[in-house]
Structure 1
């Protein structure tokens, strides 16, 4: 029996055009980063110019186009496209704001409150012992947990490093020492009920403000329900920040290795800043 390694059907490759819903300003920005990087490392030559490479990498990030499809339409190999995409991700992630600088900028701009929330970025199911670590019992799915801070208008300020899906939001916030850093700059954070119990310091001047949880089968009183509605209205813009970030369809389910997840999300944060600020 003969083993067929070539594709079935016609051998003619069909190429189609797809709209890339990003501004030319964003494409030119990424292309400029690639040119500067090539000049720094003294790269000899590439199969395509920096502009084409930027469009290919952004098509993968924004539309979740498959690497093999992008490679076939540009007469390069899938491994070459993967290398270009990872290069662009690293260049963008290096320009993502750090937590201390993001909070210092808020304090400098006379801000006093930031919005805190977490989200699960879904990933492929892993095999072996690593399977359960990335499983979130809250979302009933495999993924990685990220925390984010936004300003009062919902503009993303900072994205945390990736934590395993089984990690709780409070544990992730404690890893980042959020309460101590907020108190250092005399800032406050508004968060949902998932962060109840995070701030165990001064209860009269808490660094993290949350609503009230019903406990022991008892219903909340009317004043506490009013407070919960007020907190929900204050933290609503943070959902718009995550919505802007998740317009990049590659976050629908991350298929690359989890070690690239932190750099990927922070790179998309930089792209989101360029898209929203235009």
Structure 2
């Protein structure tokens, strides 16, 4: 294990939590001896996710070829949408938004090209608290997917309407339903109170960007080099680690 990896655990508060999650999972499975202990396996996982290091770099640093902890331990522990919304109801409000996880794709991969962002990637939806704390991240869908289409497909719209949760969202979610509050179009041509509404709405919705900032603080999601099929699992893994940080 090189000096770079030795210093990583000092920078990441979730390292001990990950170690315990791996330990608990091994006990649950009555797993046989592994070359790496729980502590080093957690460090390897965080190096992969936080630093976006290749498996070749990890192999050189740890003497192993693959990192599997994030696939079979962490992603499964991310809260589901129902769990995330437990306790919320009429009178509460959340922020709903989408972001693009950039990927290395070729021009022929049309479903992954986002016209909004002018690049290839995967669309991820988030439900966040008013202060920007993420409650739930969706699975990743091709970047061409419209925000409202994605929100409906993931059940966000129906869940919020059923619970009568007030939702602050951008213009892409217009038409979602009665509890969704979106800005007015052409607000500069509207009366002053319309313009003031848009300004107030933007201020209340701005903290939602904090959820995506937390997500993309993990370099692996700033430009994903892996298969698009794995991005959903990575997002759920990072959500688990963010939950560890928030609860700690």
- Whether these two folds match at TM > 0.5 is yes
- Partners of 1:73 and 1:113 lie apart in 2 by 46
Quote the RMSD (CA, aligned, Å). 2.1
Alignment partner for residue 45 of structure 1, among 33, 36, 41?
Answer: 33
Query: Please, what TM-score do these two structures have when normalized by structure 2?
Result: 0.91
- Partners of 2:247 and 2:155 lie apart in 1 by 29
* Match in the other structure for 1:274: 244
Shift of residue 113, structure 1, vs aligned partner: 0.4
Looking at secondary structure, tell me which structure has more helix per residue: 2
1:156-235 superposed matches below 5 A: 156-199=134-177, 206-214=178-186, 219-235=189-205
* Match in the other structure for 1:64: 52
Distance 1:16 1:57, change over 3 A: same
Q: Does 1:92 align with 2:74?
A: yes
Query: Please, what TM-score do these two structures have when normalized by structure 1?
Result: 0.81
Alignment deviations for residues 155-189 of structure 1 (CA, whole Å, 9 cap, x no partner): 10011111111111011011123332212222111
- Partners of 1:176 and 1:17 lie apart in 2 by 39
**Structure 2 residues not aligned, in runs of 5+:** none
* Match in the other structure for 2:234: 264
**Larger Rg, first or second structure (1 or 2):** 1
Distance 1:28 1:111, change over 3 A: farther
What is the aligned residue count? 245
Q: Does 1:244 align with 2:226?
A: no
| Off by >3 Å, runs of 4+ in structure 1 | none
Q: Does 1:154 align with 2:126?
A: no
Whether the 8 Å CA contact 1:147–1:159 is kept in 2: the answer is yes
- Partners of 1:191 and 1:253 lie apart in 2 by 25
- Partners of 2:74 and 2:101 lie apart in 1 by 19
- Partners of 1:60 and 1:67 lie apart in 2 by 8
* Match in the other structure for 2:4: 17
Alignment partner for residue 115 of structure 1, among 78, 86, 95?
Answer: 95
Distance 1:232 1:61, change over 3 A: same
Secondary structure, aligned partner of 1:197: coil
- Partners of 1:149 and 1:247 lie apart in 2 by 18
- Partners of 1:16 and 1:236 lie apart in 2 by 38
**Structure 1 residues not aligned, in runs of 5+:** 1-13, 200-205
